[in-house]
């Protein structure tokens, strides 16, 4: 797109391409208006985009200067044998033709006994990976309601788990991953890992129900 060749002018103070950021915040503002009845002005949308771009640039500059590997969203990772850990498997069923899907999560103990579960249907989901990320966010919120302190969350989305483990955030998932980072920090310990789809059958059934 021609926007990628445009030059950002002062005094905004950033060098990244603003076009995808503006599109993202226009989309989120639209969703807030539709679902939460919260209108946003052009100034509000532009300001949020500029702030996000500056934060992104600052992070990228630090990463480029630092030889240290990226840290995961939440570094306190419990060992699976911990008796207080609640295991949570998540999954999502996204429909590309309608941009909606089912989100599901199941809590079990170390022996695999189901303790609790949750699911919901949501519209206006931009991609399958976004659906998987939303399922993780809602699962963490449910875990907080259940007063769970130690959680081991597993998803069959390798892309999502890789993003959660590395700390790298795509523009599309930036907001949801930021939410997950904030929520996960409220647990005593929180671990994210990949689970094969064939081992995630119950969560898959709930998501498609």
pTM as predicted = 0.63
Domain segments of the chain as ranges: 2-65, 85-208
Six token digits for residue 25 = 């915040």
pLDDT given for residue 180 in this prediction: 93
Classify domain 85-208 at the CATH topology level.
Nucleotidyltransferase; domain 5 (3.30.420)
The string of pLDDT tens digits covering residues 77-93 is: 445 456 688 999 999 99
Q: Over the stretch 126-170, which tens digit does the pLDDT of each residue have? A: 899 999 999 999 999 999 999 999 999 999 999 999 999 887 778
User: Tens of pLDDT along 57-67?
Assistant: 666 565 455 44
């Amino acid at each position: 797109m021609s926007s990628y060749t445009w030059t950002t002018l002062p005094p905004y103070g950033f060098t990244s391409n603003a076009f995808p950021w503006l599109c993202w915040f226009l989309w989120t503002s639209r969703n807030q208006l539709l679902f939460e009845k919260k209108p946003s002005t052009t100034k509000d949308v532009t300001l949020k985009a500029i702030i996000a771009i500056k934060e992104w640039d600052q992070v990228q500059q630090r990463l480029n200067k630092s030889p240290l590997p990226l840290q995961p969203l939440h570094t306190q990772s419990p060992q699976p044998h911990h008796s207080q850990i609640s295991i949570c498997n998540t999954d999502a069923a996204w429909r590309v033709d309608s941009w909606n899907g089912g989100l599901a999560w199941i809590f079990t103990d170390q022996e695999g006994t189901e303790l609790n579960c949750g699911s919901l249907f949501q519209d206006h989901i931009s991609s399958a990976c976004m659906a998987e990320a939303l399922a993780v966010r809602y699962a963490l919120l449910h875990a907080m309601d259940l007063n769970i302190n130690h959680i081991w969350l597993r998803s069959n989305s390798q892309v999502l788990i890789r993003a959660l483990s590395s700390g790298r955030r795509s523009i599309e998932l930036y907001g949801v991953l930021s939410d997950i980072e904030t929520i996960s920090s409220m647990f005593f310990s929180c671990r994210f890992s990949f689970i094969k789809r064939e081992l995630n059958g119950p969560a898959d059934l709930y998501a498609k129900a």
